[in-house]
A and B are shown apart, each in its own frame.
Chain A
Amino acid sequence: MSLNKMDHSTVVGKQLNYKLKVNVGMFTSLVIVQVIALFLSIIGPMQGFSGMNEVEVESKSYSAYNVILFTSIWALIHAIIMTTKKDWEKSFPFVGNGRTNDLSNFLFLIGISIVAGILTILSTIMLRVYIYYFSGEYLFMTPGFVLSGQEVWTGIFIMIMHLIFMCAVGYFLGTLTRFHRLLPTLLPIILLGLLLVFSQTNSDFMMNIFQFYYQEMSATIFVLKTMLSTVILFAISLFISSRTEVRR
């Protein structure tokens, strides 16, 4: 019997195929998350009352932030789950190593981010359509309510980049936890603690990070920022995985 050779790209391809079969549940959960988010947007718009003399104004403002927020959390959590011990172990019954496993996971996460990104923008369009036809008598459209084709495409692209970035953050945090047995419990506590400390001390640290990415006005620079951050986070994860032991 002679030795077989299989190069990295072949193994990554086979593993990606495997991940698609194994993680079908992610697509279902994506659809459910979007439906819930849309539903919440419709039944629970921000209510506002203002009165002046005999005139009372009741306003409802609809927003698609729910959909974007929910989908972001979905991406973050799924990326973390993929790196947990249990799921990670299940990636190793067949041919592969830490690197091929990570690469196929990245490709998979990029793939579902693309699907989720498109779906999210479509959902926000659906929300607009619903509001337009069913919201009631008076509709004040904020600028940007009606989207041009160009804006839809940019929106989709930015949403995809945002979700990929979310996945990279989740994957990175999840990978960190494999350093030590205690980290899976410690890391969330540390992160929450940091958040609390920063908010109490009125530190702008967290806000600055958020603003660095999400108050960026130029789409191009936003894409560059997230892309670069994603590459760095994936690279560190890859570095860690190729050194950690599996099947403990």
Chain B
Amino acid sequence: MKVIECKNLTKRMIGRNALNQLSFTLEGDKITGLIGRNGAGKTTLMKILAGYWHETSGEVNVFAERPFQNLNVSVNAIYVDDQMQFSHTLTLKDILKEAARFYPNWDAVLAERLFEYFSFHPRAKHDYLSKGKKSTFNMIIGLASRCKLTMFDEPTTGMDASVRKDFYRALLKDYLAHPRTILLSSHHLEEMEDLLEEIILIDEGQVVLHESMDELKEYAQGITGRAEVLEPLFAGEEVIYETRVGDHSTYAVVKSNSPVIQKAKQHGMATGPVQPNDLCIYLTAKHKGGIDDVFK
């Protein structure tokens, strides 16, 4: 069954399209990374999928139903971010108890164990937790609710390196035991890329790339060579990224099937794979040379 289906999904927000004719389909129990720069539309997309916001135009379906204020979506999907608010009258333990009443698949044992492991105080209040602790607590709710569609929006905000590592492992272990559709947005692609089965790269409200992680690693090649030899090779070819290194060298990124690579190799230039994280940055860069263009 299609878990998520978006067709020309558009969301208009204060004078611009936060989502602009965005289309993609997500099927099966996969862990998918939602990647994009700040303001690319990741949060907007997730909030629409969670049923909090409505679309301006286009079509969006979650479990084959329109998600906005839909109870079937609400009970089977959870959206976790650092803005989650809980009443100040509830202690952390109370919140877990309440969540248990609402989510049919709630795993109280898992919640309890994670709660102990991350040494939360049962009577602490959510409002007074530090940023990292809040994220960790919200993560417990996200995991223990075991919703068919689980969405984490920047789940590692404020977490230190070791908690992040714990989170990734907890997520994977729980996913292995209870496969479900997990959508993760994060700025730490390099940290979580091993977890992901596929990624959706969005930019300016549109899907730039929807690929499996393995293919992404082989999607592009970087070439380093003498500028006056390499740069003429680009004529008429698609170049993802290029920058000058020193006075004479150029580093460029092209698709793996680009004829530029063969030509560059014939000229004895070094070619090599590109890190997915870097590739995503290059693919969504507004300027080919990145921040360096500002200082020209």
Candidates B29, B86, B89, B90; contact of A1 at CB < 8 Å: B29
B69 — nearest CB in chain A belongs to which residue? A97
B291 CB-CB contact with A under 8 Å:
no
**Complex Cα distance A93/B102, Å?**
10
From B47, B69, B84, B89, give the contact of A93 (CB < 8 A).
B84
Interface readout for A85-119 with B: 1 if CB under 8 Å, 0 if not? Answer: 01001101111111110000000000000000000
Give A7-38 interface residues, CB cut-off 8 Å to B. Answer: 7-8, 11, 14, 17-18, 21-25
User: When the two chains form their complex, are residues B75 and A95 in contact, meaning their CB atoms are under 8 A apart?
Assistant: yes
Contacts of B266 in A (CB 8 A): none
Residues of A within 8 A of B122 (CB): none
Most buried by A among B84, B85, B89: B85
Contact B69 A4 (CB under 8 A): no
From B53, B70, B89, B101, A97 is in contact (CB under 8 Å) with B70
Q: How far is the CA of A10 from the CA of B90 in the complex (A)?
A: 22
Task: Give the docked Cα–Cα distance between A97 and B75 (Å).
Answer: 10
The CA of A21 and the CA of B91, in the complex, are separated in Å by 11
Contact B178 A1 (CB under 8 A): yes
Taken residue by residue from 77 to 114, chain B's Cβ proximity to chain A (1 for < 8 Å, 0 otherwise) reads as: 00000011111011000110011011111000000000
**A55 vs B180: C-alpha distance when bound (angstroms):** 90
- Stretch of A46-54, A128-136, A137-145, A239-247 at the chain-chain interface: A239-247
B52 within 8 A of A: yes
Q: Give the most central of B75, B94, B180: most A CB within 10 Å.
A: B75
Asked if A6 CB lies within 8 Å of chain B CBs, one says yes
* Most chain A beta-carbon neighbours within 10 Å: one of B70, B76, B99, B102: B102
Number of interface residues of B (CB under 8 A): 36
Contact of B105 among A1, A22, A90 (CB under 8 A): A1
Bound Cα distance from A2 to B89, whole angstroms: 34
The answer on a CB contact under 8 Å between B76 and A3 is yes
- Interchain CB contact (< 8 A) of B72 among A1, A3, A90, A99: A3
Q: Which residues of B lie under 8 Å from residue A86 when comparing CB positions?
A: 85
A-side contacts of B74, CB under 8 Å: 95-97
A180 within 8 A of B: no
Residue of B nearest to A246 (CB): B52
Say yes or no: A3-B52 contact (C-beta < 8 A), given A22-B89, A90-B86: no
Q: A6 near B75 (CB under 8 angstroms)? A: yes
Nearest CB in chain B: distance from A94 CB, A: 4
Given contacts A3-B63, A92-B52, 4 further A-B contacts (CB under 8 A): A6-B71, A6-B104, A23-B89, A247-B83
The 4 residue pairs across chains A and B that have the minimum distance between CB atoms:
A94-B102, A97-B69, A22-B87, A4-B104
Which B positions have Cβ atoms within 8 angstroms of A?
Answer: 29, 47, 51-54, 63, 69-72, 74-76, 83-87, 89-90, 94-95, 98-99, 101-105, 141, 146, 148, 178-180
A contact set with B: CB distance below 8 Å: 1-8, 11, 14, 17-18, 21-25, 86, 89-90, 92-100, 242, 245-247
